[in-house]
Structures are given as structure tokens and as C-alpha cells.
Structure 1
Amino acid sequence: MARRTKEEAAATRDSILDAAEKLFVEQGVSRTTLQHIATAAGVTRGAIYWHFDDKGALFNAMMERAILPLEAEMQVLDQVESDDPLVDLRNHMLAVLDRTVNDPGARRVFEIATLKVEFVGEMDAVRQRRKDNMANWMARAERRIGLAIDKGLISRDVNPTQVALGLWTMIDGLIRNWMFDPQDFDLLALGKCVIDPYLEGLRAGRT
């Protein structure tokens, strides 16, 4: 009986988080109340408070259970190392775009975290997570660019930090703009059109 109660509690918690995720996408975080979430989840406000102290705690729990496209593909990048670091980096970036398009759950949470929340007060954890993600990605990209320099694939005059920041801005900007209207352009196709010339330009400048 105790085990069943624990499983039921976990199921209720997940249903609350699912409802919150759906509503946050539809109407934004600030306009979504705990009563809205309770109604959508088919529970009482008391049930929400049983699992979460407030909306901020609920929001953070929703973020913690999600793996964003960039995070998931960073794990894959860490496991891959070919003879061409720039190819690895290109494949990683395109995989991030592909996951954004084809993983609805990851896409919803990314949309909430970038377009549907203000980075203030209890929601500041999102800003910190984004900052951490950027730092982690930059470190990995700089390492690959440094390896490309060591292998003679690109010029030693290239600044790895500047190149990595350009790539980050590129992929982040593509995803953000696509989120506004996914029907406006093919994210993966445009990504290739933007990323490939950038990386090939680095190769062309090697001495």
C-alpha cells in the first residue's frame, strides 16, 4: 500500500509538471497561476502545495527534469572525437538543431526558458542555468577549435574564444528566431547554410 501511495504521489507530481509546462508555453509564466495549473492537472491547489512550496519551486522542478537540446547533445559531443575537430563541432551543432525540431518536450522547455519567462526573482535560476550552459558549451567549442589549430586545419591567428562565441551566437539566434514561428523556415536547412560557410571560412584562412 505504501509503495502504491508513493507511486501515486509521483504520478500526481508529474501531472502537475506536465500541466504547468503546457500552460507556460501557451500563456507565459507570469500569466499562469497555480489555480490554472491545478485545474489543468485535475488536482487541488492543496495538492500542488504538497509537492511544491510555490510557483517558483514548481517552475524550477519543471526545468530540472528537462534536458534541453544543447545539454543533451553536449553529452554526445563529449563521446565523439574524430581526426577533424571542426567536423565534430559542425555535426554537434546540426544535432542540436535537429533535436530542437524533433524533440517536442525539449523544444517546449527551451521555448519557456527563452521566450516565456522573465529572469527575475524566483525565476533567476533559469538565467543561471543558461549562463552555465553557455560556459560549458564555450569550453568545449574552444577546445575543439584549439585542436583544429594544432592540427593545422585553421590558422594560428584564429582566436578560439571569439570563434566559439560566434558559433554560440549563431546557433542560439537560429533557434530563438525559429521558435517565434517554426513554419517560417527550415531550421536544419538554414543551419547548414549558416554554419558551413563559417567553418569553411576558417579553413580557407589557414596559413
Structure 2
Amino acid sequence: MRRTRQQARETRDQILDAAERLFAEHGVSRTSLEDIAMRAGCTRGAIYGHFRNKSDLFVAMTNRVMLPMEMLVAATTDAAEPDPLGRIRQLLVYFLGKAVVEPHSRRVFEVLFTKCENTKDMVLVIERQHDAARNGRMYLERGLRNAIARGQLPFDLDTERASSVVHAFLGGVLRDWLLERDSIMLPRDAEFLTDVCIGMFSYSPSLRRAQGACG
């Protein structure tokens, strides 16, 4: 009897779940397809029925979650948005308060930030991370300029630097939380950390454009 699509989907998810846990426990390079098959309760052949190789499986695993800066692509660029800064804050709080403690997201972030070696298996994921960072900063800049136009932020805010600060902020908080959970308490501190980051936009002299510089 041929497998139904639902059965195939369930098997694929079981393989991805097993890979996610094993990569988080042992790292990507130290986990074999045989290990994944054993944890998933299937054969290595079953894995090849869904994925070309470990690299393909790894990419599929990371594609199940949104990367930190990909969430900021949703930052408002709509000129009609009445509260663009509030929208940016909402996204940051959501990421730190919910996304990082959701089981799949937490394990994938742990693999990417602390258990992943720079190998050929990583090429497509590294490219995705670079694209996410670039696009996230670009869209965040648009949201910040919208907030400036609404009078929510100083007119001379250096939006390029500010968006880079947010990128570094998210990466730093996430790494610290993954490496030492007691150093940062998530989701408890999500709003506090977000407000500290956003507060820099208004009060840090280092985030002001030099007089006469183009915005």
C-alpha cells in the first residue's frame, strides 16, 4: 500500500525533529544520517526519500523557523502606519518573548549560534543569514525613517547605524541567553531589553548623524 501524503509529511517531520535535537546535542558535523535515522525510528533510505544529503536536511530544518532579522522585514514601511516605532517594538518583544522560547526556534537558534561549524553543510544557511541581516537592516531603516517622519524619533537619527545596533543587539542577547540562561531571563526580560535598545535611538549621541550629512 502506497504511503499517503500525510504519512510522508509525518515521516519528514519526524526526521527533521530528530535532526534538530541531535544537532543541538552534538553539533552538525558530529551527527550522521545514521544517527538521525535511529532517533527518528526510520531507515537511512527513508531519509534519502525526503532529502538529498545532510546539507539538504540541515537547510530544511532551519527553514522551519524565522531568523531574527527576518522578523524585522515585517517592520512597518507603510507611511500610513500611525505608530511605526510601536510596531518595531512589538516585533522585538515578540522575538525575545515568544520566538526564542518556542521549542523548534530555540533548538535551531542553539544549533546556528553555538553548535554549528563552518562547513560545506552551512553554505546555504550562511547565505540565508547574510540575506536576512541585509534585508532586515534595510526594512528596519525604512521603519525608523517612518518613525522620524511621525516625530517619534530625533530628526538626525543615523538610521543605518541604528539598524546595525538592533542587529548586534538581537545576536548578542540570543547568544548570551543560549550560552548562559541565568545571565538573561527570557521571556521575562523581553520588554526591558527591547526598551533599552529602542531608548538608544533617542538618547545616544553616537546615533546622531554628523551635521550636514545626508539621511
Deviation of 1:196 (Å): 4.2
Alignment-derived partner of residue 54 in structure 1: 53
**Conservation of the 8 A alpha-carbon contact between 1:68 and 1:109:** no
Q: Percent identity?
A: 36
**Conservation of the 8 A alpha-carbon contact between 1:90 and 1:196:** yes
Length-normalised TM-score, structure 1: 0.84
Correspondence list, 1:1-207, <5 A: 2=2, 4-68=3-67, 70-72=69-71, 74-75=73-74, 77-78=75-76, 82-188=81-187, 189=189, 190-192=192-194, 194-201=196-203
Deviation of 1:23 (Å): 0.4
Length-normalised TM-score, structure 2: 0.81
Deviations 1:34-77 (A, max 9, x none): 111111011111221222221111111212233345535644x4
Distance 1:98 1:155 in 2: 27
Using the TM superposition, name which of 43-52 and 188-197 deviates more: 188-197
Unpaired segments ≥5 residues, structure 1:
none
Using the TM superposition, name which of 84-93 and 54-63 deviates more: 84-93
Superposed structure 1 runs of 4+ greater than 6 Å apart: none
Letter in 2 for 1:36: D
Deviations 1:141-170 (A, max 9, x none): 101221233234433332211111112111
Distance 1:194 1:85 in 2: 17
Aligned length: 205
Distance 1:70 1:99 in 2: 15
Alignment-derived partner of residue 213 in structure 2: none
Unpaired segments ≥5 residues, structure 2:
209-215
**Conservation of the 8 A alpha-carbon contact between 2:72 and 2:140:** no
Deviation of 1:135 (Å): 1.5
Distance 1:155 1:52 in 2: 50
Q: Root-mean-square deviation (CA), in Å?
A: 2.9
Letter in 1 for 2:168: T
